[in-house]
């Protein structure tokens, strides 16, 4: 969701670009569905970012509490930046 919001796309626009249903994208964003490699590749193509970056965001939630890792640190900072952008975008609407 944060990547989509960063690109200022609605759920419908994103679903259309990904060639997926709106409900499926919603389920991905809420964590009710897991993305396949095909879906990750679609996201990477649509948002012009490497699959590895998408995986880094997803992987961040799997680290055990208290883990010290540069990958976790970077992922947390990137997520905070995207959340901040989402907040700013919501205030402008």
Question: How does pLDDT run across 5-44, given as a tens digit for each residue?
Answer: 888 899 999 999 999 999 999 999 888 988 889 999 999 9
How large is the greatest C-alpha to C-alpha distance in the chain, in angstroms?
39
Q: Report the b/e string of 40-75 with b at 16+ CB within 10 A.
A: eebbbebbeeeeeebebeeebeeeeeeeeeeebeeb
Range 47-70 average pLDDT: 66
Position with higher pLDDT, 82 vs 42: 42
Q: What's residue 5's pLDDT?
A: 83
Range 51-64 average pLDDT: 66
């Amino acid at each position: 969701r944060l990547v989509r919001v960063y690109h200022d796309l609605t759920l419908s626009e994103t679903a259309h670009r990904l060639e997926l249903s709106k409900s499926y994208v919603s389920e991905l964003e809420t964590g009710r569905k897991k993305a396949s490699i095909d879906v990750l590749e679609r996201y990477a193509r649509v948002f012009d970012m490497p699959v590895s970056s998408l995986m880094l965001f997803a992987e961040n939630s799997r680290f055990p509490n208290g883990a010290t890792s540069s990958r976790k640190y970077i992922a947390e900072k990137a997520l905070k930046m995207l959340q901040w952008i989402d907040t700013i975008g919501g205030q402008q609407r």
